[in-house]
Structure 1
């Protein structure tokens, strides 16, 4: 019985090792195909938060998407989708105070994310 179990275990371990190595190589070579280009960064009135307007581009099949993230001033800007607002049209923002931000967007645009509270900041949306 032990003689039959050993080749099976070796085969399973080999398959797992090959799979994990392949996944690592593909992730390293191709990684995240999306990229962010910061259009504007607007600090809050007290300077503790930063609102980033940026475009996210994931290649020829998706096009670019204007997005918004609200981060602490010391946070590194990540290569991720916006944590606050995502749309198919450009928009503008304005701080009311350190805990409230307004987003001015076209009501006809398609929105994919509209969070009302992010990272301790209340977000108000004003459609034009």
Structure 2
């Protein structure tokens, strides 16, 4: 192989390794840019479940939000990956809805029975996701001013 080919091959190898290393480092540094904050936890009447209101904050590029998930009544939700995907999510619609705890729209949780949960949210909150059931629990939605 000619000398110039060896030099070009060597430079390309160094460039690929350097770029790959930078990508891996940036991925490691910014992997946890989103922070999850638990706002409220309300146990069902028997304690079998609990509804957890939380916020995921990914920085200034996204609006503050409030989300709700149902977990087992004895589950510790303080861990980084402790919460499942939410079945309810709302944001303040760029400030139209008033701020609740942790800057997202206020969400009120009320168990009507072990199989029925009521979620109240401000009427101006923008609803991103609102499923009618979660973990076998029926979910009712109400608005307030």
Compare 37-46 and 66-75 and name the one that shifted more.
66-75
Q: 1:28 corresponds to which residue?
A: 28
> Aligned partners of 2:73, 2:22: CA distance in 1, in Å?
38
Deviation at 1:81, TM superposition (A): 7.7
Q: 1:114 corresponds to which residue?
A: 130
> Aligned partners of 2:84, 2:47: CA distance in 1, in Å?
23
Alignment of 1:92 onto 2:140 = no
TM (norm. structure 2) is 0.66
> Aligned partners of 1:105, 1:56: CA distance in 2, in Å?
17
Give unpaired runs (5+ residues) of structure 2: 1-15, 92-104
- Secondary structure, in 3 states, of the residue corresponding to 1:26? helix
Instruction: Kindly report which structure 2 residues correspond to 1:10-21, keeping only aligned pairs within 5 A, or say none.
Output: 19=20
Alignment: residue pair count: 117
Give unpaired runs (5+ residues) of structure 1: 1-14
TM (norm. structure 1) is 0.73
- Secondary structure, in 3 states, of the residue corresponding to 2:124? coil
Question: Structure 1 runs of 4+ off > 6 angstroms?
Answer: none
Q: 1:104 corresponds to which residue?
A: 120
- Secondary structure, in 3 states, of the residue corresponding to 1:46? coil
| CA-based RMSD | 2.9
Alignment of 1:53 onto 2:69 = no
Deviation at 1:108, TM superposition (A): 2.4
Q: Is the 8 A contact 1:42 1:50 kept in 2?
A: yes
